[in-house]
Structure 1
Amino acid sequence: MITFDEKTIRASFVNASLRERSSVTLPPGFADTAWDRLDYLGWRDPKLPMLGYVVVELDSAATGVVLRQGEVKPRARAQCSWCEDVTLPNEVVSFSAKRAGAAGRNGDTVATLVCSHFECSANVRKLPPVAYIGFDVEAERLRRIEVLGEHARNFVRNVRDGA
């Protein structure tokens, strides 16, 4: 992922008002972000714990969405829709995002199940267990990294474009 500065991130949110963008609290340690180990930038708002933010690179630009955690937790252990980790060391929650533009103003939203504190990039970088004799764990790790990026970008694109 390419590096984004604070101004770029604040301007990137496609489903937020100007006031909402200016009130975004950046993640703790933002200045020390290891951009080369991220497939998307995701964090929870420390002031408003039900809010989350995700920024991806779409069309060579930062594109962000504001997410709201659902009130109800899944009944069973859910699988993250982005990293698809079946041995999750963390909780998965439901997030919804209002769509950009007129659709969002009319109340149209899209939802997904994601690691509660956006740990996906770390999850996919762990070597997976050997599935069978001859299984290439490094190739699978690289595939999982690629798929995570696609899932995150597709979700943000869906919020932005409504498709």
Structure 2
Amino acid sequence: MVFLTLALLRVGKNKMTPYSMREWKRVMQRRLSWHFRNRKRNCYRLSLCPVKKSLRFSTTVRPIRRRNINHLFTNRIAAGCAQHGVQYSSFMRALYESNILLNKKMLAQLSIYEPRSFQSLCEFAKKRHSELVQKGLAVALEPLPSGIITRDMIKKSV
């Protein structure tokens, strides 16, 4: 029986034996603490609390970071639109209605690194908006979804 367990330990590191589980735990701890400095990086015991704290911090900050990045993308696109004389909201609406599926990240990168491509998108949005105005289907005149009551509807009924 003793020989059998030794053979199993030698044969498979893929099997979860107590030794391999402990080794895996330490390897994961080292991976999570690679960016620390001094002994917190190298010593298993000293890295336990900082790793736990950094994981907790990364999960609490994640939505805030996403919101900040989204604001950054919006500001970059709005600045690019302002250069070409288009409002951000009408630009995004024109792209959405025309089924141009570019997310905010790509539009922000286009506005910075590909100004001519972004200029063509702005001109397309201007053209689309002018077509809607000519047809009399401006944004303010479009029918609202059902269930919404506006002041104009109340004034007309009185």
Q: Shorter-chain-normalised TM-score: which range? A: under 0.3
- Structure with more contact order per residue of length (Cα contacts < 8 Å, sep ≥ 6): 1
Structure richer in strand, relative to its length? 1
**Larger Cα Rg: Structure 1 or Structure 2?**
2
Greater share of helix residues, 1 or 2?
A: 2
Output the TM-score relative to the length of structure 1: 0.26
